[in-house]
Amino acid sequence: MSTIINPTTDKRMAEIAEKVHNGQRLSLEDGVYLYQSEDILTIGQLANEANLRKNGKKVYFIENMSLYFTNVCEAHCAFCNFRKDQGEEGSYTLSGDEMVRYVEENITPGVREFHIVGGHNNHVPFQYYVDSLAALNKHFPEVTIKAYTAAEIDFFTRISGMSIEDVLKALQAAGLQSLTGGGAEILSDEYRKKMRVNKANVDRYLEVHRTAHKLGMRTHTTMLYGSIESYEDRINHMIQIRELQDETNGFMVFIPLSMQPKNRNASIMRRNSAYEDLKTIAISRLMLDNIDHVKAYFINIGTQLTQMALTFGASDAHGTIVKERISHAAGAVTPEGLTRKELIWLIKGAGRIPVERDTFYNEIEVHE
């Protein structure tokens, strides 16, 4: 039954709505049309219908901790303000023991996951990255290690001379259980050239995840939107992810990441609008019919817009994080983390059921 409470007189939108009601896959043209439409209420209601069909009113979150071993990076992506050159003021590279001490000083009770990303530091060998995970795994064996982007894995193959599969197997032996979703940016080589994304190209990003899925890992994937890309670029990105999911069924969640300005004090005109953020989350839910979850990332869009997103197709409110650095280095003005109680309050405030999960969306506790 249709959930549309604001009937549309737009014939094209009505055709798309009919597809959604019947569980039919949307096309590239459908996705671009949704982006071009000003009818955000209908788009949101359709996304809500699609999400309720998959997840009911449950919204998932995790108690996790973001860790960054190094911010030294050989890449010079145009949108990044996190990276540093070796020896530059503010640059750092932590050893496994140093990170263990940091975790011991900052970890909160109940943390189930380490979320680890960082720079492409070519001043240390691949073994450094293996040892980093091994140190954490040794001292915190009960915490799941979700580490490294597909772009980082591709970087590791270059500094080690190993294949993607062998790199992943070495990291798995050290404790790696899942990959983060970053490094996707926009899956267009033309976009990557213009934005100086001089790291893994489109094929390599997809191949890393394909290989990880083959090895039994379930992974995350992202899309960084709001710069020079077109609506067609965004939908093509989603379709490439959808096609790989058809092949492997290894993605657990899609995470639209709203581009942040480099200057924290940048005006609102330098940021994506709330309208654009909500529309992107909703369209992601409608296009990615074979991925269970779409995440509303409060670090980039804020807590109140995250609440709204839970009725626009999102079924994941991320996690506690403790202290996020990458988006905040790029100008995010949102909280660096939230407490477990705050996340539960946020989800309940949207009329949804908070579900504490582990990395793999196994339910730990339902907060009715």
Annotated binding residues for [4Fe-4S] cluster: 73, 77, 80
Is-contact 112 358, C-beta < 8 A?
Answer: yes
DSSP reduced 3-state for 1: coil
CB of 343 closer than 8 Å to CB of 349: no
Residues in the chain: 368
Q: Cα separation of 87 and 182, whole Å?
A: 25
* Angle ∠(323,174,355) on CA atoms, nearest 5: 45
User: Where is the binding site, in residues?
Assistant: 73, 77, 80
Q: What's the token pair of residue 368?
A: 């009715």
Q: What is the DSSP string of 54-107?
A: HHTTEEEEE-EEEE-SB-B-S---TT--S-B-TTSTT--B--HHHHHHHHHHH-
**Count of C-beta atoms within a 10 Å radius of residue 123:** 14
Angle at 22 between CA 19 and CA 27, to 5 degrees: 30
What's CA 47's distance to the chain center, in Å?
19
Dist. CA 312–CA 261, nearest whole Å? 24
Q: Does residue 317 contact residue 347 with C-beta atoms inside 8 Å?
A: yes
